Amino acid sequence: MTGMSISTYPLNKKDGDSRLIGVELEFTSLMLRPATEIVSDFLNSETIEYIHDNYAKIPSKYGDFRVFVDFERLLKLSREVKNHKKDDFSSQMQEFAKKVLEDLSEGVVPLEIVTPPIPIEYLKELDKIADVLALNGAKGTHLSPLYAFGLHFNPDVPDLNTETLLAYVQAFALLEPYLKEKVHPDISRSVTQYAAFYPSGYNNLILNEGYLPEQSQFIDDYLKYNPTRNRALDMLPCLSMLEEEKIKYVTKGDTLIKKRPTFHYRLPDCRIGDGNWSIEKEWEIWEVVELVANNHDLRQKLIQLYKGRSLFTFVTKSYLKAIKKCLLENQISVRS
């Protein structure tokens, strides 16, 4: 999907099985039953199991697709907006807060579709489902920026070795300005901090050439700087596979952290209804992280660029230009 790159990334896990992807799609302006029926019709499923009025499951050959009202997001946003003082907001954010409260009072709620683990090539089918949802009134972040709607990818990790996981967080940290430009997340998602990048202290630590941690140290360091799942690349699900009790303790038993051997990539917006947006295209952007993580020489070159940056280079975007040049030299690019 990223063209004829001279870099590659593993499509199979260490055990030889294909790496699959779980996808989470958040949107609004459709009620649960119509949204569920659209997904069911597309899957040609004859069965819909309504667990209750706000949660449904649809069987497929890959496993259950789930459709539900995102009450956690609903309650959190309601509390946050009501607790903010008016002076805390710019005029734009005051309008944002006002609209959130208006929609909450009118019963407009966020919905979420969660897929079972699916093959990469099935992403184009998800785009078709998104198109039908949009035709029936579903709205994403760009049309209704109330709940900072996201598109989350949960790709299987190739393996759980510390060296592998470190390579991925390094690649993600190095590509931060590139990802910001390509994904261009909506301002509402910046305000709510649902998908924050790693803090600079953590980036400086993991990009130090002498940083070669053992598993326990890697996990401790990650938790020191990132004791939350609200990161653009959330590592807590896969780290829970290694030290679950430690993760539970540090995150105070956050029940929304699900133990699974996957990355949790949370940066993209869900922009259902935007003709220039697609799930496949957002996956292509993630693939750049995959390619950098699996190219040691390229990653080392980017680390040297990172160390040579300055505040001035961020202002002039020369650091971003240097990243792009480095990627193009390795024939890595995505559709603009």
How far apart are the C-alpha atoms of 229 and 123, rounded to whole Å? Answer: 24
Residues 271-298 pLDDT 10s: 998 999 999 999 999 999 999 999 999 9
Q: How buried is 128 (Cβ within 10 angstroms: 0-12 exposed, 13-18 middle, 19+ buried)?
A: exposed
| Tokens of residue 157, six digits | 């990790």
- pLDDT for the residue 82: 53
Query: Which residue has 């299987």 as its token pair?
Result: 156
How far apart are the C-alpha atoms of 71 and 73, rounded to whole Å? Answer: 5
How far apart are the C-alpha atoms of 145 and 250, rounded to whole Å? Answer: 31
| Tokens of residue 13, six digits | 């896990």
- pLDDT for the residue 52: 84
Give which of 35, 45, 93, 100 is closest to 73, Cα–Cα. 100
Report, as ranges of residue numbers, the positions in the chain whose pLDDT lies below 50. Answer: 1, 4, 89, 105
| Tokens of residue 116, six digits | 């079972």
Q: How buried is 307 (Cβ within 10 angstroms: 0-12 exposed, 13-18 middle, 19+ buried)?
A: exposed
Residues 152-175 pLDDT 10s: 999 999 999 999 999 999 999 999
User: Which three-class secondary structure string do you get for the chain?
Assistant: CCCCCCCCCCCECCCCCECCEEEEEEEECCCHHHHHHHHHHHHCCCCCEEEECCEEEEEECCEEEEEEECHHHHHHHHHHHHHCCHHHCCHHHHHHHHHHHHHHHCCCCCEEEECCCECHHHHHHHHHHHHHHHHCCCECCCCCCCCCCEEEEEEECCCCCHHHHHHHHHHHHHCHHHHHHHHCCCHHHHHHCCCECCCHHHHHHHCCCCCCCCHHHHHHHHHHHCCCCCECEECHHHHHHHHHHHHHHHCCCCCCCCCCCECEECCCECCCCCCCCCHHHHHHHHHHHHHHHCCHHHHHHHHHHHHCCCHHHHHHCHHHHHHHHHHHHCCCCCCC
Give which of 313, 295, 282, 285 is closest to 175, Cα–Cα. 285
List residues bridging with 111 in a β-sheet: 27, 69
How far apart are the C-alpha atoms of 223 and 73, rounded to whole Å? Answer: 23
- pLDDT for the residue 255: 87
What type of residue is 78?
S
List residues bridging with 55 in a β-sheet: 52, 68
- pLDDT for the residue 77: 55
Q: How many residues does the chain have?
A: 336
Enumerate the domain spans of the chain: 21-70+109-329
Give which of 60, 75, 52 is closest to 256, Cα–Cα. 75
CA 185 to chain centre: 11
